[in-house]
Amino acid sequence: MNKLILGLPKGSLQDATFSIMQKAGFKIEVGSRSYKPVIDDPEIEPRLIRAQEIARYVESGTLDAGITGYDWIVENGSHVVEVAELIYAKQGLRPVKWVIAVPEKSGINSVKDLEGKRIATEAVGLTKRFLKKHGVTADVEFSWGATEVKCPELVDAICELTETGSSLRANNLRIVETVLESTTRLIANKAASADPWKKKKVNQLSVLLKGALAAENKVLIKMNVPDARLETVSKLLPSLHAPTVSCLSGGGWVAVETVMDEKTARDIITELKHAGAEGIVELPLNKLIV
């Protein structure tokens, strides 16, 4: 049987990735000390690996494909095929940013002020390339973690990954510059992309993952509407294209269904009822293929 060796990110992206994979139709289980998760697709062999390393292993051919951040592709300088951009992170459906941050009372206010300063970061390559681009020379050192607490006693600034900025604010740090905006990517190596079976499998995975993300925070609304009230009800409905309308047996009524944001449904369900809709049902979505 053909197999696709797939790298899944261990660490901050793990829970979010497993959740999206489940909505895409894959059930994954992993032991606390195992790096080989169990998946209910016999054609996939997953490996649980730090996101920082996945791009390197995909490029080398150890993995056929993987899910990792764009930032780590750039940091490693990996030559891989980017199959899909998957906009989700640890805490939400948004990009993340690598930023230069300094203590609130620091006199550093721009990248130029970093000349001759000491900077701690896990993304040494990203930081050095950013400084070089701006003609700045600084001492960039690798940080093994807890980077935020190193300012100002150990270093003058940090280059850190942030999603909401809350951790930086909690440590009395302010953002000076944005080094890189990053999103999650599904990647493959060139050999896997040239293999017809593996390419098809990766593309299938791409469609399902993007469908799961497209369905996030969206619901399917179904209702019955009298013919005479259809136009009024339809004007209240947002949809991807137009609501689906089907005649009901007996005449005089139609069934209407459409997809909308969950928050929109919350706001307009009462209006739909007042407009004449009955039997309103709200259903969650796992995938939305557009």
263 pLDDT exceeds 90? Answer: yes
- The pLDDT tens digits of the residues spanning 176-216 come to 999 999 999 999 999 999 999 999 999 999 999 999 999 99
Please choose, from the candidates 35, 115, 116, 123, the residue with its C-alpha nearest in 3D space to the C-alpha of residue 76.
123
**Using an 8 Å Cβ cutoff, are 33 and 27 in contact?**
no
- Tell me the C-alpha distance between 219 and 284, whole Å: 5
CATH second-level architecture of 96-182? 3-Layer(aba) Sandwich (3.40)
Percent of the residues in the chain that have a pLDDT greater than 90, as a whole number: 86
- Tell me the C-alpha distance between 243 and 78, whole Å: 45
Q: Give the number of other Cβ atoms within 10 Å of residue 267's Cβ.
A: 11
Confidence (pLDDT) at 239: 65
- The pLDDT tens digits of the residues spanning 26-84 come to 999 987 667 889 999 999 999 999 999 999 999 999 999 999 999 999 999 999 999 99
3-state secondary structure of 1: coil
CATH second-level architecture of 218-284? 2-Layer Sandwich (3.30)
**Using an 8 Å Cβ cutoff, are 258 and 244 in contact?**
yes
6-15, 85-94, 236-245: the lowest-pLDDT one: 236-245
Query: What would the two tokens of residue 33 be?
Result: 């000390």
- Examine residue 95 and say whether the peptide bond preceding it is cis (omega within 30 degrees of 0): no
Residue 86 phi, psi (nearest 5): -120, 105
Confidence (pLDDT) at 250: 80
- Give the CA-trace dihedral at 123, 125, 50, 150, to 10 degrees: -20
Taking residues 264-282, report their average pLDDT: 96
Say yes or no: do domains 96-182 and 218-284 share a fold: no
Confidence (pLDDT) at 84: 97
Which one-letter DSSP state was computed for residue 276?
T
Contacts of residue 65, Cβ cutoff 8 Å, sequence gap at least 6: 4, 5, 6, 7, 58, 83, 186, 187, 188, 189, 192, 198, 202, 205
CATH second-level architecture of 4-93+183-214? 3-Layer(aba) Sandwich (3.40)
Question: Where along the chain do its domains lie?
Answer: 4-93+183-214, 96-182, 218-284
Confidence (pLDDT) at 44: 97
Confidence (pLDDT) at 240: 61
Query: What would the two tokens of residue 80 be?
Result: 């891989």
- The pLDDT tens digits of the residues spanning 118-144 come to 999 999 999 999 999 999 999 999 998
Confidence (pLDDT) at 90: 81
